[in-house]
């Protein structure tokens, strides 16, 4: 069944997040040859619109407004609902990022529609697409189809591969005027933490440290390994609670959920709440001096040893590759 799909691209710090291309690929699985319409909110969106077309979108609607430069639930949901009214799609796909996690439920409520969140795989062989999503903190997976209404899902980053970029692809771009009224939230200032590293949520490789790094200084060898691998730095809550690093790095049930190709866990015991955030990584390498540490139960490769000896050796090896 051919379906017209709306996907929302995410722009952060004037960069289009890679997961936007994954939402296009996800929508294509459901569209069955139907039109893929990308929606972008913010300012200076032309280059991002072109990029979405190169990754498979047929048409892009840009909504350029100062009030949409930074995400707020109020402004984005008002703007999106006007695009929705105009387009009347058969389905909507958003990324399961902090923006998508906030926006999608609001839209679902406003549209009086169901929502399947945190989808990691989509099959579309039968009448309705079947979504796979993790449950019980990633210990099991459930398959879901939607009942009445339009198809509406958020997809977890790094699970549904984007199409290969095709610079010869063409599509149409239009700017749409929307009315934003009675906004209850306005962003006065964004105070950014300076990070030079790779974005944790979208990283292909993550080097994560736990309480075993013993101090903020103890993260240095992990940062050197991350630099050698082009990886992002992550952490357990144990490391965050001990003030070895920022809470923004926390991975797990109450932190970020990540699905990199490679996850290197150093000095992390492997508590269930940590596993909830990383156990779906494609390859897990654990470095721990305790051979009984539960992290080894989920690891593909385990190194029993002192991280302060193992990590510098790994870094040297990686530099030579």
Point out the annotated binding site for FAD: 211, 236-237, 250-254, 267-274, 288
Sheet holding 121-123, edge to edge: 121-123, 130-135, 140-144
Our CB check for ligand FAD shows the closer of 133 and 237 to be: 237
5 vs 200, beta carbon nearer ligand FAD: 200
We find the least distance from the C-beta atom of residue 65 to ligand FAD, in angstroms, to be: 35
Residue 34 or 270: the one with the smaller Cβ distance to ligand FAD is 270
Q: How far is the CB of 132 from ligand FAD (least distance, A)?
A: 23
The least distance separating ligand FAD from the CB of residue 136, rounded to whole angstroms, comes to 14
Torsion of CA 140, 232, 76, 146, to 10 degrees: -20
Known binding-site residues equal 211, 236-237, 250-254, 267-274, 288
DSSP code of residue 56 = T
Residue 53 or 307: which CB sits closer to ligand FAD?
307
Cα 79 to Cα 48, 75, 94, 186, 190: the distances in Å are: 18, 6, 15, 15, 21
**Which tokens hold the place of 169?**
């692809």
Strand (E) or helix (H) holding 11: strand 11-12
d(CA 154, CA 173): 24
Distance CA 264, CA 283 (A): 9
Instruction: Specify the residue, 31 or 251, whose C-beta has the smaller distance to ligand FAD.
Output: 251
Minimum CB separation of residue 33 from ligand FAD in Å reads: 41
Nearest approach, Cβ of residue 140 and ligand FAD (Å) = 19
Enclosing H/E stretch for 20 = helix 19-31
Q: What 3-state DSSP class applies to 136?
A: coil
Interacting residues with ligand FAD (CB under 6 A): 210-212, 236-239, 250-255, 267-269, 271, 273-274, 277, 287-290, 293, 306-308
In contact, 12 and 138? CB cutoff 8 Å: no
């Amino acid at each position: 069944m051919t379906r017209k799909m709306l996907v929302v691209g995410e722009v952060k710090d004037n960069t289009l997040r890679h997961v936007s291309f994954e939402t296009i690929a996800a929508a294509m699985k459901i569209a069955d040859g139907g039109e893929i319409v990308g929606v972008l909110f913010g300012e200076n969106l032309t280059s991002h619109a072109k990029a979405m077309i190169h990754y498979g979108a047929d048409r892009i609607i840009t909504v350029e407004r100062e009030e949409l430069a930074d995400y707020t639930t109020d402004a984005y949901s008002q703007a999106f609902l006007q695009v929705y009214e105009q387009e009347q799609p058969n389905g909507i796909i958003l990324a399961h990022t902090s923006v998508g996690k906030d926006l999608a439920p609001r839209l679902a409520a406003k549209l009086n529609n169901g929502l399947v969140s945190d989808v990691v795989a989509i099959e579309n062989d039968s009448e309705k697409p079947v979504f796979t999503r993790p449950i019980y903190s990633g210990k099991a997976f459930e398959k879901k189809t939607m009942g009445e209404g339009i198809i509406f899902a958020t997809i977890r980053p790094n699970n549904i591969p984007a199409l290969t970029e095709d610079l010869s692809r063409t599509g149409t771009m239009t700017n749409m005027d929307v009315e934003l009224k009675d906004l209850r939230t306005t962003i006065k200032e964004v105070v950014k933490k300076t990070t030079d590293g790779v974005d944790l949520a979208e990283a292909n490789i993550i080097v994560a440290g736990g309480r075993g790094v013993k101090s903020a200084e103890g993260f240095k060898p992990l940062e050197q390994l991350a630099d050698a691998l082009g990886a992002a730095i992550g952490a357990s809550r144990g490391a965050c609670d001990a003030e070895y690093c920022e809470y923004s790095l926390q991975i797990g049930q109450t932190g970020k959920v990540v699905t990199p190709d490679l996850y290197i866990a150093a000095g992390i015991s492997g508590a269930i709440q940590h596993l909830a955030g990383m156990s779906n990584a494609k390859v897990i390498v654990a470095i721990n001096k305790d051979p009984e540490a539960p992290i080894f139960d989920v690891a593909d490769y385990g190194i029993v040893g002192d991280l302060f000896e193992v990590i510098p050796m790994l870094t040297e090896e990686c530099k030579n590759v």
